[in-house]
Amino acid sequence: MERIKIGLIGLGTVGSGVYKSLAQFDNVEITKIAVRNINKPRTVEVPTEKLTNDPYDIVNDSSINVVVELMGGVEPAWDYIKTALENGKHIVTANKELLAKKGEELFKLAEKQNRVVLYEAAIAGGIPVIMPVKTILAGNKINKIQAILNGTTNYILTKMDADGASYEDVLKEAQELGYAEADPTGDVEGFDAAYKITTLATISFNSRVKFENVYREGITKIRKEDMQRANELGYKIKLIASATIDENNNADVRVHPMLVPKTHMLAHINYVTNSVAISGHPIGNIVLSGPGAGEFPTASSVIGDILAIAREWKTTDYLLPMMRCKHNSTANPVKIDDTYNKYYLSITAPNAIGVIAKIGSICASKNISLSSIVQKGVKDDNTAEITVITEKCLEKNIKEIVNELEGCKINSLIRVMEG
């Protein structure tokens, strides 16, 4: 059997898992690996002759059939992939940022060169979601996605909830355990999840979503008091990546914290687990859950993509047609101010007669109905914390409320998922 030859760019955690796992398959062979430092000690033994510190040695090697890019970031990864495609190579990547920002250009080039780009590992680690959406669910009109796509933030929020701890304390612990980077911005500010939902929404809706139109908000302002209040009211707080599309191709795609009802399955996805809930017709509702990161879970998705190419290699002139990009339209972006949501507000207000009535009156003036309003105790400075849950209302109206509550401090404003 002629082996399909693989060039690997990146031998970090995932790359090492791919190298170890592919050894058991006799129809594929990793012939060259690009690394930053050839002499660096590694957890995997690799013959020195397979290593190079120049990725162009791989993308320009005529003997290599598939380039697997696991380095991340847009540049220089984009130039490596672009060069590889122009040289007639198929691509497997886990690069969610590149897909979100350069996806349209990437897939147009791939089609022009009659090559495939597979990226199962880029969205939810070891959870198979891209291939099911493109194949088994291809006959569905998917109109809604709600997902937990970042293990770091889910770990932090779970620990805050379980331990009654502050964001700062849990972040420090997560960094010590290796769950969070030294610079956690990409995770905790929602960038990672935003990259992923951009691509997932695009393929699910068959209409391209632009990354710059995705609303993004992180978890850095979530307080332990919010966790406690949410629990008392029957919710858990999660960083949710969501996307909906209507019959007019208007797409509302965003990432932000939400109060998730305890009756909803996503409320019980804890620590580093990821989960994707998909709604459509005729399937109805399905949920995919599992490890969203890690050496072998993510390597599993990368290997699956490699083997999908290997199975069809040299059997057809047009590999994996169902996995190719065929978007002919771009979704109309919905601005966050024009969306309707339920809201949780935590307000510190003077402990005075009529304060709650004033809050209710200001909300009524903006056509906002209240589902609940609760005051718990009085502090030493004669202020009270008031918790409000609204009915569904316009985002820009709730922002106006925040500006009109004079003499009150808004501690938190978090959207609420409907049950």
324: left (phi > 0), else alpha (psi -120 to 50), else beta?
A: beta
CB within 8 A of 373, min separation 6: which ones?
Answer: 356, 359, 360, 386, 387, 388, 389
- Distance, in Å, from the CA atom of 312 to the CA atom of 323, rounded to the nearest integer, reads 12
Predicted local distance difference test score (pLDDT) of residue 1 = 65
**Which residues is 275 bridged to in the sheet?**
148, 289
Predicted local distance difference test score (pLDDT) of residue 327 = 80
Domain spans of the chain, in order of start: 4-125+295-323, 130-291, 337-416
- Distance, in Å, from the CA atom of 115 to the CA atom of 105, rounded to the nearest integer, reads 14
- Distance, in Å, from the CA atom of 329 to the CA atom of 320, rounded to the nearest integer, reads 22
Predicted local distance difference test score (pLDDT) of residue 176 = 92
Which tokens sit at 42? Answer: 């590694």
Beta carbons of 38 and 98 less than 8 angstroms apart: no
Edge-first strand order for the sheet with 28-34 is 51-52, 28-34, 4-9, 66-69, 90-93, 117-118
* One pLDDT digit (tens) per residue for the chain, 419 residues: 689 999 999 999 999 999 999 999 999 999 999 999 998 888 899 999 999 999 999 999 999 999 999 999 999 999 999 999 999 999 999 999 999 999 999 999 999 999 999 999 999 999 999 999 999 999 999 999 999 999 999 999 999 999 999 999 999 999 998 889 999 999 999 999 999 999 999 999 999 999 999 999 999 999 999 999 999 999 999 999 999 999 999 999 999 999 999 999 999 999 999 999 999 999 999 999 999 888 899 999 999 999 999 999 999 999 999 999 888 899 999 999 999 999 999 999 988 888 899 899 999 999 999 999 999 878 888 899 999 999 999 999 999 998 888 889 999 999 999 97
Which tokens sit at 305? Answer: 């993509």
Question: Smallest Cα–Cα separation from 115: which of 303, 270, 357, 321?
Answer: 321
Do the first three CATH levels of 130-291 and 337-416 match, i.e. the same topology?
no
Provide the 3-class DSSP secondary structure of residue 258.
strand
* Backbone φ and ψ of 132, nearest 5°: -60, -40
3-state SS track over 64-107: CCEEEECCCCCCCHHHHHHHHHHCCCEEEECCHHHHHHHHHHHH
- Distance, in Å, from the CA atom of 292 to the CA atom of 289, rounded to the nearest integer, reads 8
Would strands 141-148 and 273-281 be described as parallel, antiparallel, or unpaired? antiparallel
130-291 fold? Dihydrodipicolinate Reductase; domain 2 (3.30.360)
Catalytic residues: 196
- According to CATH, what is the number of the domain 4-125+295-323? 3.40.50.720
Q: Give exposure, 377-402, as e/b (b: 16+ Cβ within 10 Å).
A: eeeeeebbbbbbbbeebbbebbeebe
DSSP 331-387: PEEPPGGG-EEEEEEEEEEE--TTHHHHHHHHHHHTT--EEEEEEE---TTSEEEEE
Place of tokens 């979704």: 331
- According to CATH, what is the number of the domain 337-416? 3.30.70.260
Instruction: Residue count of the chain, please give it.
Output: 419
- Distance, in Å, from the CA atom of 133 to the CA atom of 182, rounded to the nearest integer, reads 34
SS3 percent helix, strand, coil of the chain, rounded to 5, is 35, 25, 35
CB within 8 A of 107, min separation 6: which ones?
Answer: 117, 324, 325, 327
State pTM to two decimals.
0.96
Predicted local distance difference test score (pLDDT) of residue 378 = 85
Q: How far is CA 100 from the centre of its chain?
A: 11
CB within 8 A of 199, min separation 6: which ones?
Answer: 96, 99, 100, 103, 119, 122, 123
